[in-house]
Chains A and B, each alone.
Chain A
């Protein structure tokens, strides 16, 4: 593949990533957010595979494979299980209205483009919009976590921002060193498992969402 084709494909994937991110931000039901984040991880895996074919970097194939199995299949499945166990199907009114969240999201996206423009001559593995999209994804994931209405939303936000960091790393240095990426994914898996246990534990004892507890103050 020529560098130009790779750039175009990664750019397109970046646009789709942003779209899934917007879906996560606006998702009323947690199921949709989970599907959206799984789709997002799939896109990340595709991006890694595209880069791998273009550069012949075998590490990227491994990363694509891990992302596909862990983030696209296993972790969404875990989240799905947790949702089923918690047995909540209704929509939760967000802390911040979705319209405000979306407005914030627009600001974040514009800011990311501005930021990457001010970064100037960064030696990027992929030119084009990969870097600003990566920054935007990371920040939007954090936005989801920060405005998260429920514990599950916050976990989805965690995934999304990790995805953003992976994408950024691919954009600037063709991905982090393999061992680091594996370590990061391992951390994410562990964090999600621990979070899932906590969520279920609180649900089983006080029938409340763990993110909704607010007894500790001052």
Chain B
């Protein structure tokens, strides 16, 4: 059953993508979109139950364990939310002329191909497959980023594809080095690149070569994850992409890259001791948090603001992984989920606000609460959560990461982290407060809010609030088992 699901799961979005090519009608396309995402979610839930009962299972180059499941669940939930959101968003975008009605099917097909490559990333056991799928996400999402076809979009797409391809070349190089270390201990053929096979012999691997391999991978997948200083593509890509794509990029894609890093972290921790990968992660994590801060404060573009925010939060996840231990890793994984959900919500709400005002400039967006009360509330909720206000979920995971840091005695890192979080808190609330309150700008349209985007946002907001108030036992169990895989 689980083995079958392993190869069916990537096929679902692929088939959905192919189905898209059969029609040009916007409503039918949207229906296929939502159905495909819903089937993907349903199958994943089945898979989750099977894994909870029967443990990890593998099929050739693919494998599912609890760690992968965390990311897979985040991926499919966000995909469904994006599909629901897209229904209304697209209607409006076509009406305004942002999207050409005749090319919609290729857009949908690309989105689902993008999802398919991400599914493979998450399910990959073979580190080579992981890399191939990761580069696949780059190619598909690059086309989506430049989808509007205007100069800025293409510039962002080009920067994205070049920077991440440069980065990911390093990733492949690191993969080759690690597999060379494994091949020296009898792993042959595809086994030399299989994560589960390497993990069995990890403690015996040559620490020197694994160390260099891990640094290469860290730079490589770190580029894709948006860790500073390799984050240069991120604000451009996230701000220029169509809103649903921004949500997928920020919510899931950079998390998939993090999963790649975590896979290699476990190998490196077993081969060279946990201190080495932890240090590397701490350095990159702190750099990201520090670098993102000034750009968040001085930002005028709403979507770029959210983009830089992703850099900060990826940095926080890296910090959590770097602090390590059960609490730190659990906190980091929880933060992955929380940030994914919250950031997607934030992009959705921001996308609606931008459509309403016709600009991304936050100095022009004023009085959102008066023109779109529900959307504005959701934007405020997302912003509060992103800033780390209790009782929202991000507060919980940040607290756990802090707790892990204190437990490990990383006082300097904690001090910098706290200072930056406080500054960003103030900056974000300032930006969002100014947008929500006050007199509405003249140019804002006052049409009623469409139901489908609201539905997509409500779904995410519900998860966000739920995870903040209490973590359900099933999710808690999943995260605990995933933490065990990482910590060992």
Pairing of A with B: yes
Give chain A's interface residues, CB within 8 Å of chain B. 115, 118-124, 135, 138, 141-142, 145-146, 148, 151, 154, 158, 161-162, 165, 168-169, 172-173, 176-177, 179-180, 183-184, 186-187, 190-191, 194-195, 198, 201-202, 205-206, 210-211, 213-216, 218
Task: Compute how far the CA of A82 lies from the CA of B474 in the bound complex, rounded to whole angstroms.
Answer: 54
Contacting residues of chain B (342-374) with chain A, CB-CB under 8 angstroms: none
How far does the alpha carbon of A120 sit from the alpha carbon of B61 in the complex, in Å? 31
* Chain B neighbourhood of A115, CB < 8 A: 212
The answer to whether B183 touches A123 (Cβ under 8 A) is yes
A202 touches B209 (CB 8 A): no
Count A-B contacts at CB 8 Å: 139
CA of A148 to CA of B480, assembled, Å = 46
In chain B, positions 112-133 with a C-beta closer than 8 Å to chain A are 126, 128-129, 131-132
The residue that B193 contacts in the complex, of A141, A158, A177, A218, with Cβ under 8 A, is A177
| B304:A191 contact, CB within 8 angstroms | no
Closest 8 CB pairs of A and B: A180-B128, A123-B184, A172-B180, A183-B132, A213-B155, A187-B135, A177-B190, A216-B236
Chain B residue with Cβ nearest A148: B162
The CA-CA distance from A50 to B138 in the complex, in Å, is 34
User: Residues of B contacting A215 with CB < 8 Å?
Assistant: 151-152, 155
B61 neighbours in A (Cβ, 8 Å): 179
- A187 contacts B139, CB within 8 Å? yes
Neighbouring B residues of A165 by C-beta, 8 Å: 169, 172-173, 176
B176 touching A191, Cβ below 8 Å: no
Residue B143 CB within 8 A of the other chain: yes
Contacts of A186 in B (CB 8 A): 132
Chain A residue at minimal CB-CB distance from B130: A180
Distance, CA A185 to CA B131, complexed state (A): 12
CA–CA, A66 to B337, complex, Å?
41
B61 to chain A, nearest CB (A): 7
Q: Is B417 engaged at the interface, CB distance under 8 Å to the other chain?
A: no
Check if B146 sits within 8 Å of A198, measured CB to CB.
Answer: yes
A interface footprint on B168-184 (CB within 8 Å = 1, 0 otherwise): 01101100110111011
Task: Tell me the smallest distance from the CB of B271 to a CB of chain A, in Å.
Answer: 14
- Residue contact B177 to A211, C-beta cutoff 8 Å: no
Give the residues in chain A near B206, CB-CB below 8 Å: 120-122
Determine if B295 is an interface residue (Cβ-Cβ < 8 Å).
Answer: yes
Interface residues of B in 131-177 (CB under 8 A from A): 131-132, 135-136, 138-139, 142-143, 146, 149, 151-152, 154-159, 161-162, 165-166, 169-170, 172-173, 176-177
**Which A residues are in CB contact (< 8 Å) with B448?**
none
User: What residue of chain A has the Cβ atom nearest to residue B184's Cβ?
Assistant: A123
Chain B nearest CB, measured from A153 CB (Å): 11
How far, in angstroms, from A186 to B298 measured CA to CA in the complex?
42
Q: From B181, which residue of chain A is reached at the shortest CB distance?
A: A122
Q: How far is the CB of A31 from chain B (nearest CB, A)?
A: 21
Q: Given A195-B158, A215-B155, 5 other A-B contacts at CB below 8 A?
A: A145-B165, A165-B172, A198-B142, A198-B154, A202-B158
Chain A residues with Cβ below 8 Å from B143 are 194
- Residues of B with C-beta under 8 A to A179: 61, 128, 190
Q: Can you pick out 10 interface pairs between chain A and chain B where the beta carbons lie within 8 Å of each other?
A: A172-B177, A176-B179, A187-B139, A190-B139, A191-B138, A201-B146, A206-B151, A213-B155, A215-B152, A218-B304
Max chain B Cβ within 10 angstroms of own Cβ: one of A141, A148, A168, A173? A173
Asked if B154 and A201 make an inter-chain contact with CB atoms under 8 angstroms apart, the answer reads: yes
> Which residues on the B side are within 8 Å of A216 (C-beta)?
152, 155-156, 159, 235-236, 239-240
Chain B's nearest CB lies how many Å from the CB of A133? 13
Give the complex CA separation of A118 and B177 in angstroms: 14
